[in-house]
Amino acid sequence: MRHYFPMFPMVWVAIAMQVIACSGKAKQQEAAPETYTVIQPALVDTIFTKEYIAEIHSLQNVEIRTHVKGFIEKIHIDEGKPVQAGQILFTLSNREFRENLLKALANYKSAFAELKVAEVELKNTRTLAEKNIVSSSELDMALARKEAIEAKLEEAQSAISIARLNLSFTEVKAPFTGVINRIPFKTGSLVGEGDLLTKISNNKEVFAYFNMSEKEFIDLMEKDSSGLNKVVSLQLANNELFKYSGTIETVENEIDEGTGNIAFRARFKNPDQLLKHGSSGKILMKEALKQALVIPQKASFEIQDKVYVFTVDSSNTIRMRNINPRLRLPHLYVIGSGLEPRDRLIYEGIQQVKEGQRIQPKPLAFRDIHFD
């Protein structure tokens, strides 16, 4: 009689051994840390560019207004056209002012004739008074009449000056060489005293006004005691660079309490008349940095407006650290605080790692980083 022993206990033992073996392999695989590229911050000398919003003003930009009331008889210029200093721009009706001038001249001639008569009478009266033929009071009266006529003559001279001045106001002339802007009134329009006829701008050179924070102002002054004569560039509204460089000329004498900024003025040559009064742009100011600590922006990430990196400690464990970038350069952060040159940080794969994870670091020299 044969006895058959069930085989399933041995099968279960084999399976269990296989499970134990696989589990051991899995633990070995889990224990093996993954490899990640790590870098160290670099100390470099570099140049960076600061940008400041700028407002463009003409070297001269004034309103041309009337001094007298009248009709516009002729417009001698057109909008957008250049004019020379002293050139006639508008002619206003002047008949009334010519008549006033003629009247003033006639009054002057009459007063001048009266003065001649008074002088003769005074001379005769003085002669008679010296001979005691007339009293001294008559002499005083003759002298008073002469002085009154002299005052009348001066008044007539003043009236002539005013009449001539008003007549000159009927010819509106350019105060300087420039370009005419819009002309709101046309020929035949009645204009009153003080009405705006046009504007004129001298754009051969322009001023660029921009604001700088108090800290930046102090830093600039520490580097250059005057803070002036610094060469700057201008980025136009279409993001192209203006082909002429400018120079900082002056700085305001007080800091705005509301904004904490201080205003600067730079001057730019504008021979092509490209820049106009009221244009906008950005002042570009280059600054040198010595031994600046930099990291690639790729090695950082942001959480709620704060910048972080993953550092690797001496045991190759990942730690999350908050950093304070001082400046943002193309592809780089200039570090203000939070990192030291000896620190190691994850360069690639920061989306795949987490705090406390152990890794196998793969060092990458900063000079071997290729920025796109």
- 1.10.287.470, 3.90.1150.10, 2.60.40.1930, 3.30.930.10: CATH of 70-197: 1.10.287.470
Asked whether the predicted pLDDT for residue 88 surpasses 70, the reply is yes
- The residue ranking higher by pLDDT, 141 or 22, is 141
Distance CA 186, CA 183 (A): 7
pTM higher than 0.85: no
- The residue ranking higher by pLDDT, 235 or 130, is 235
Q: Region 236-246: what's the mean pLDDT?
A: 94
Q: Where are the beta strands (DSSP E) in 181-260?
A: 190-191, 196-213, 231-235, 246-251
pLDDT-based confidence at residue 17 (cuts at 50, 70, 90) = low
Which CATH fold would you assign to the domain 50-59+203-288?
A: Elongation Factor Tu (Ef-tu); domain 3 (2.40.30)
**How far, in Å, are 54, 88, 230, 235, 343 from residue 246 at the CA level?**
13, 34, 8, 11, 42
Q: What is the pLDDT of residue 225?
A: 56
pLDDT-based confidence at residue 372 (cuts at 50, 70, 90) = low
Q: What is the pLDDT of residue 282?
A: 96
pLDDT-based confidence at residue 216 (cuts at 50, 70, 90) = confident
pLDDT-based confidence at residue 89 (cuts at 50, 70, 90) = very high
% of residues, the chain, pLDDT over 70: 90
pLDDT digits (tens, 9 = 90+) for 51-79: 999 999 999 999 999 999 999 999 999 99
Q: Region 160-185: what's the mean pLDDT?
A: 95
Q: Region 102-128: what's the mean pLDDT?
A: 89
- Name the nearest CA neighbour of 229 among 267, 194, 263: 267
pLDDT digits (tens, 9 = 90+) for 142-153: 889 989 999 999
The domain ranges of the chain are 34-47+290-368, 50-59+203-288, 70-197
pLDDT digits (tens, 9 = 90+) for 295-330: 999 999 999 889 999 999 999 999 999 999 988 888
Q: Region 213-234: what's the mean pLDDT?
A: 78
Q: What is the pLDDT of residue 20?
A: 55
Distance CA 234, CA 241 (A): 6
Contact 65, 87 (CB under 8 A): no
Class of domain 34-47+290-368: mainly beta
| H/E stretch holding 45 | strand 42-65
Phi, psi of 326 (to 5 degrees): -85, -40
Q: Is 206 helix (H, G, I), strand (E, B) or coil?
A: strand
Contact 70, 92 (CB under 8 A): yes
Distance CA 188, CA 71 (A): 6
Phi, psi of 69 (to 5 degrees): -90, 140
pLDDT-based confidence at residue 5 (cuts at 50, 70, 90) = very low
Distance CA 45, CA 293 (A): 9
Asked whether the predicted pLDDT for residue 228 surpasses 80, the reply is no
Contact 359, 312 (CB under 8 A): yes
Residue found under tokens 């993953």: 310
